[in-house]
Amino acid sequence: MAQNNNLAELSAAGVAVWLDDLSRDRIRSGNLQKLADEYCVVGVTTNPTIFAAAISGSDSYDDQLHAMAVRGVSVEEALRTITASDVRDACDLLAPVAHRTGNDGRVSLEVAPGLAHDTDATAAEAAHLWWLVDRPNLFIKIPATEAGLPAITSTIAAGISVNVTLIFSLERYRAVMDAYLAGIEQRLTEHPEAGVADIESVASFFVSRVDTEIDKRLDKLGADPSLKGKAAVANAQLAYQAYEEVFTSDRWRVLEARGARPQRPLWASTGVKNTEYSDTLYISELIAPGTVNTMPEKTLMAYADHGRPGTPVQKAYDEAAAVLKAVSDAGVDLDDVFRVLEEEGVQKFVDSWDELTESVRTELQDKK
pLDDT in tens, 178-202: 999 999 999 999 999 999 999 999 9
**Residue range 113-129: mean pLDDT, rounded:** 96
**CA–CA separation, 162 and 160 (whole Å):** 6
Three-state SS for 109? strand
The pLDDT score that the predictor gives to residue 198 is 95
Q: Which of 140-149, 177-186, 356-365 has the lowest mean pLDDT?
A: 356-365
**What confidence tens digit (pLDDT) does each residue in 245-284 have?**
999 999 999 999 999 999 999 999 999 999 999 999 999 9
CA-based R_g, the chain, Å:
20
Is 335 exposed, middle or buried, given 0-12, 13-18 or 19+ CB atoms closer than 10 A? exposed
Active-site annotation holds for 216: no
Lowest mean pLDDT among 41-55, 210-224, 298-312: 41-55
| Percentage of the chain modeled with pLDDT above 70 | 100
Does residue 367 surpass a pLDDT of 90? no
Would you call 351 exposed, middle or buried from its count of C-beta atoms within 10 A (0-12, 13-18, 19+)? middle
Which entry of 34, 141, 325, 348 is annotated as an active-site residue?
141
Task: Give residue 345's domain range.
Answer: 5-366
Partner residues linked to 162 by β-bridges: 140, 201
**Using 50, 70 and 90 to split pLDDT, how confident is the model at 124?**
very high
CA distance 192 to 189: 6
Q: What is the mean pLDDT of residues 326-340?
A: 98
At residue 213, the 3 state secondary structure works out as helix
Which amino acid belongs to residue 40?
A: C
Share of the chain above pLDDT 90, in %: 89
Cβ contacts of 36 within 8 Å, gap of 6 or more: 42, 93, 94, 97
pLDDT band, residue 66 (cuts 50/70/90): confident
Whether the CB-CB separation of 40 and 295 falls below 8 Å is answered with no
Tell me: pLDDT of 56 over 90.
no
- Mean confidence (pLDDT) of the chain: 96
CA distance linking residue 258 with residue 116, whole number of Å = 32
Structural contact between residues 145 and 164, judged by C-beta atoms closer than 8 angstroms: no
pLDDT of residue 278: 97
Which tops the pLDDT comparison, 48 or 166? 166
- Using 50, 70 and 90 to split pLDDT, how confident is the model at 363? confident
Is 242 strand, coil or helix? helix
CATH no. for residue 107?
Answer: 3.20.20.70
| Structural domain count of the chain | 1
Q: What pLDDT sits at residue 233? A: 98
Using DSSP's 3-state secondary structure scheme, residue 223 falls into coil
- pTM for the whole structure: 0.96
Strand partners, 293: 17, 267
220 secondary structure, DSSP code? H
Check if the beta carbon of residue 57 is closer than 8 Å to that of residue 29.
Answer: no
Nearest to 91 by CA among 76, 74, 78, 104: 104
